Each structure stands twice: as C-alpha cells, then as structure tokens.
Amino acid sequence: MINRVLIRLKVIQIVYAYYQNGSKNLDSAEKELFFSLSKAYDLYNYLLMLMIALTEYARKRVDVAKAKLKPTEEELNPNMKFVNNKFIAQLEINKQLLEFINNQKRTWANDQDFIKELFDKIAESDIYKEYMASEDNSYSTDREFWRKIYKSIIFSNESLDQLLEEQSLYWNDDKEIVDTFVLKTIKKFDEKTGANQELLPEFKDEEDQEFARRLFRRTILNADYYRHLISENTKNWDLDRVAFMDVIIMQTALAEILSFPNIPISVSLNEYVDIAKLYSTMKSGGFINGTLDGIVNQLKREGKLKK
C-alpha cells in the first residue's frame, strides 16, 4: 500500500525534523521514519473501518425508529438496502481488518457526532437516493455505491480531515494519498473471496522498504556533498537565504538521483517538484526544478551521472 510517493514525502518530513530537532541519532530517526509509514497504514485500515461504522450507525437508527411508541409504517418497514449492503457485509468479516481492529483497539465509537454528520450528508446525496430507489441488489452495485460515496463525500471532507488531524499528527498529510488506496481496495473486492479478501499490504515488496531506508540514509549521510552541489548551482543566492524546506527537498532529490540508477531522472525531478509545490513556497517548484536541472547537467558533464 505504501508507495514511493508517500515514502518520498515521509523521508522529507523526517529529514526536516532531524535537522530542526538538532538530532544526530540516525538510527532513531530511521525508526521514526518507519513508524510514520506504519501510521499511514493504520490510517488505511481506519478509513476502511469508517464505512463499517456508518453502516452500524444506520442499523441503530433503524432499530431506534422501530422501538418508538408509535412508529410510522415507513419506520416499521424501512428500506434496508443501505444496512444490508453486500460489500460492507464482506468488509465486516474481513480477516485482515478484524486482526487490525483486535490488535490496535481502534474504534469510531467515540466519534458518533461526526458519524451522524457524515451519514446525514450521505443520505442527502443523489448517489444515496438513486441507490436506495434502485431494484438492483447485486454485489457489484453495492460495491460501486461505496466507491462513489467514498470518492464524492469521504475523499474531500474537511470535518474528517480535522478529526483525523486531532487523532494523530502523523496523519496531517497522509489522507489524500491513503484515500486513493482505499478506493483501489473497494474496486479490488471480489464477492467470491469472502472473509479472505486480501487488503493492500503495508509495503508492496522488500524493494520499496529498502528504497525508504536507503533514500533516508543517503540524504543525511551525503548531505555535505549535496549541499555543495546546490550551492554551486545557486551562485546568485546565499544558501542560507534559500527556504530550508527547499534545501531538504533538493537534498533528498539528489540522494534519489545519485543512488537509484533504475529510476529515470525525469521521474525523480517531477516527483520532487510536485512535493515542493505542495509543501514549500509559491516559487519553490520552479526554483527547485531549475536548480536540480543545472546540477544534473553538471554531473553529466563531469561523468558522475550516466543514466
């Protein structure tokens, strides 16, 4: 699940904190990196649990309405399509998710005000109304309903973003990327697999895990060389006046360009320019792109970069 886009972002965050906190313990900082990545995987599972929590809330509403002294006909015979959604029924018994729930003891039980707010928003949507009115009770329709709900209502939700930020500082910048993994998971679910449906693994393979470790260590251990290259290619700038985050982004980018021969230079440049646009100053994208391009050309002329 944890892809290289997220790894790059986490490495930059931990390298930045490494310098800001005055820490010189590389092993501790590396542990912090992998802990931060594990928290992103926690968020992935927690967001899967959110869909179950919404369904449980809807079930309770149905039960409460039926228990009224004088329930209406609609309350006695409600439309059960939402609460009996086949995709959610499969998610509720998923072995991997249940293991996460049991191990982490994490729950949405203390956030019922938010669950109510989110359910009401879902119930007001055209997606919900069309789904509830449809006579199609197939598994694929049930799964597609949640994909649409997640993409249109949960994906960009300020209340949810704020709630998650309050729960973990590690989740501040993770949700947008993790949301894409949740959507992939919904699409991947197959009714035939039942409780054994595989969720996305924390790391795709050992290579990605090693990518995180080596990128982080090379960024720190070769910092003097990378900063020398940056300084040489920003002669019209005093390096001390360049935004510190820009320096960290370029330092990490150079670690990747020089340490991973199989990653095309254009891929690395594009990734770090995109990060700069999101996490540094307004002008950082262009500045970093120009500086890194100059360094790459210099290294090629000197025969130090041959990819």
pLDDT, tens only, 211-243: 999 999 999 999 999 999 999 998 776 666 678
CA distance 238 to 240: 5
pLDDT for residue 212: 97
Based on its alpha-carbon atoms, the radius of gyration of the chain, rounded to whole angstroms, reads: 24
pLDDT for residue 306: 82
pLDDT for residue 237: 66
Contact in structure between 153 and 125 (CB atoms under 8 Å): yes
Burial class of residue 174 in the structure, from the number of CB atoms within 10 Å of its CB (0-12 exposed, 13-18 middle, 19+ buried): buried
Domains and CATH numbers, the chain: 28-196 (no CATH), 222-301 (1.10.940.10)
pLDDT for residue 31: 95
Rounded to 5 degrees, what angle do the CA atoms 62, 159, 157 make? 90
Report how far Cα 223 is from the mean position of its chain's Cα atoms: 28
Give the containing element (helix H, strand E) for 7.
helix 4-20
Q: How many residues does the chain have?
A: 307
DSSP, collapsed to helix, strand or coil, labels residue 101 as: helix
Of residues 42, 52, 48, 1, the one with CA closest to residue 177: 1
What residues in the chain have per-residue pLDDT under 70? Answer: 237-241
pTM comes to 0.90
pLDDT, tens only, 270-299: 999 999 988 888 888 999 999 999 999 999
